[in-house]
Chains A and B, each alone.
Chain A
Amino acid sequence: MDKNKWMLLIGATIAILLAIIIFKNKDEIQESVSSVTEDRDESNQSSSGFSSGFMNFPEAPKPDEDVLVSQAEKLWPHAFEPKDPNRRERVRKEWQDFAKVYPKNLYIPNEIRGTLTPAEEKSVIETLDAYTSIDAKFASINSASKYANPGTEPPAPNQKDVSPKEMTQYFDYKIQEIESRIELLEYTMEKSRLSSIDESTAKNDIALLKKELASLKDVKAQVPNS
């Protein structure tokens, strides 16, 4: 065979190999897209109860033209990552185990905690109102002071304008939240193998939270009739 024929043969072989690779990838992409939808269907049928299982517009046509698939792959690769079909059941189990150790932890979802009585629901809603109102006030004072000149202080509130009941609700929630966050972080450190950097961040966070907690407990004791 002369040189030209060899070149032609090599070229044709490369072209065939490329075509096989491209078609194979295309099939894989399409399989991946299908698995996302199937996974979504499965997760919506999950009995975990966390999510309503509701699927918005199940009749929506899949954008399956090549140009849209390749754009989606490029822009939103996470949408094509395989999902663990047992994820929600696993998460539910994790919460149940956690709740056995820390039954009063504020981060435990109601789904795990059990149905709230109407009185409990009312109390949670009232606390949310009181806590977020006072928290927003402090955020706004903090914001105004961010670039304040040294020596300046925010105006002192008049004690008459502050409700001891609301402040108690605020402190109660804040204290419970910080205690819960510390529990969550300690549990995470115990159950998960953190990198040395993440472990150092977690330890630092816990130390700061404990300091804040002590200060909040002190000041809460000063609220009249608390």
Chain B
Amino acid sequence: MARSLQSLLVGILFLLALGLNAQSQADMFRKPGVIGDSLSQGFFGATVEKKTQNWAYPVLVSKQAGSSVTYNELKGPYINLEDVLKGDCGPICLGLSIIGGNEKTYSLPTHAGITGAEYTTVLRTSGKCEDITAKKWAKDWYWKKWYWYTYRWVEVADCQEPDKFHKFGLRDAGTQMEVMEKVKPSFVFGTAGANHVLCTALSTSLTCLDEARYKRDIREVFRRMGNIGSVRGGVLFTIPNVTAIAFLEPYKDPSNRASYTGLKAFFRNSVSSPDQILDSNEVKTINTFLTMLNNEIKAQAAANRYAVADLKVLFDDIKQNGRPLKSTSGWSPGNAQANWPLPGKPGMFGLDGVHPNMYGHSVFANELIESINSTYGYNIPKVSEYTAWYYDSLNRSPVDLKKFLTENILGQFISWIVGIFT
């Protein structure tokens, strides 16, 4: 009798736990909110448009969790190089894309991730002002006496127009941080760390590294996030090794000069200055910075009880071994590489060698889903990576960019990539 009662109680508790878990997942994803950068906005060599925003990781994860996010839909600026090189985008399409704009807008989007952002811009850049904290001196005319009209110097806001990604992505909603404070999300996608270090790889220079600013601003973001009473959890991810991206490739100086040997941009045919190389000492400095940056992300995740996906470890592994890719019937095109796709080789990145393609975002989303499930005990279904690969136009009809180096457009394409993320 006692044993039966015990079994019954255990059964009830089990069912109750299942119910609570399901309820808490629904509650957790009642209103997901997103801050972030090009990875969250869906930048794809070199533009943001409805199609690419739709395949970005926060959108995939939210949909898989039975929820959704809203964002201002963009139609540029700049270019979708895949479309141009494949002959799918002519001069008018290109012109429209360079101008950019909005397809659809929301007065208060729940997804505020913007291309080129970092924790500093999460706090400071709105859709109207590049830096909402910037000040300038201005004359303030007033009547000092009834007979005396004069002026005094006062400090006023210095609102410079932001870049087009912020302008079209945030519009009148405020900074990314202000958007979150207004949205009051239940769950936060909170990573905007990549551009604090990616700049080194794209400009082959260390000048943009600023540990003090990074630490100050990520801590401020999570202090303010912690003050939003509605947030019940979130997910962060570590930043992959930026010196291992496809944008860079090894180069050995024919005269064995150390400062001319290291990593160069993939499109460079010659190296005429140490400025065009990340040498071994610079790579070491970047890796030290990256470790600091990722430790801070892990610390913030722990302090706020967020899930954290270790994408640094994941991409190190993919760089070495590739990502297994298989249909449900067991057919496989081979492991995917941490590169843009090539004939006979599936790849996870777009033509800039920096940002994931449609398939790459599905891998990204699955890693986040796995960490959310394991942290919160949920059972969010994973995305079918094979299906994403099957419908990914760049994977199914690859473009070998190295065969297009004589296209005049390439210089400006690179200039946009380096300019946005440096």
Contacts and interface: CB of A to CB of B under 8 A. Distances in A.
Contacts of B269: 125-126, 128-129
B284 interface: no
B69 interface: no
B395 interface: yes
B409 A63 contact: no
A87 B95 CA distance: 17
A119 to B, nearest CB: 12
Contacts of B275: 133, 136-137
A90 B272 contact: no
Nearest to A130: B272
A63 B384 contact: yes
A49 to B, nearest CB: 8
Interface stretch (A1-9, A23-31, A102-110): A102-110
B398 A56 contact: yes
Given A201-B100, A201-B101, A184 B408 contact: no
B283 to A, nearest CB: 16
Contacts of B384: 63, 68, 71-72
A77 interface: yes
Contacts of A136: 202-205, 265, 275-276, 418, 422
Contact of A188 (B92, B407, B410, B412): B92
A5 B343 CA distance: 64
B341 A56 contact: yes
A63 B90 contact: no
Nearest to B99: A202
A76 B87 contact: no
B344 interface: yes
B47 interface: no
Contacts of B213: 147
A126 to B, nearest CB: 8
Given A133-B276, A197-B101, A57 B333 contact: yes
B358 interface: yes
Q: Categorize the interface residue count of chain A.
A: 35 or more
> Which of B85, B91, B344, B409 has the most A CB atoms < 10 Å from its CB?
B91
B86 A127 contact: no
A128 B396 contact: no
A159 B410 CA distance: 28
Interface string B80-96: 00001111111111111
Given A76-B358, A143-B207, A50 B411 contact: no
A129 B328 contact: no
Contacts of A198: 96, 99, 101
A94 B207 contact: no
A141 B341 CA distance: 33
A179 B224 CA distance: 46
B84 A63 contact: no
9 contacts: A68-B384, A77-B54, A136-B276, A136-B422, A141-B207, A144-B208, A181-B412, A194-B96, A198-B99
Interface of B: 50-51, 54-55, 60, 63, 84-96, 98-102, 120, 199, 202-205, 207-208, 210, 213, 265, 267-270, 272-273, 275-276, 327-329, 331, 333, 341, 343-344, 346, 358, 383-384, 386-388, 390-391, 395-399, 405-412, 414-415, 418-419, 422
Given A109-B85, A121-B406, A205-B98, 9 more contacts: A88-B88, A91-B88, A94-B91, A128-B410, A137-B203, A187-B91, A187-B92, A187-B95, A192-B92
- In the complex, the 5 A-B pairs of residues with the closest C-beta atoms, listed nearest first: A50-B87, A188-B95, A94-B90, A79-B391, A91-B90
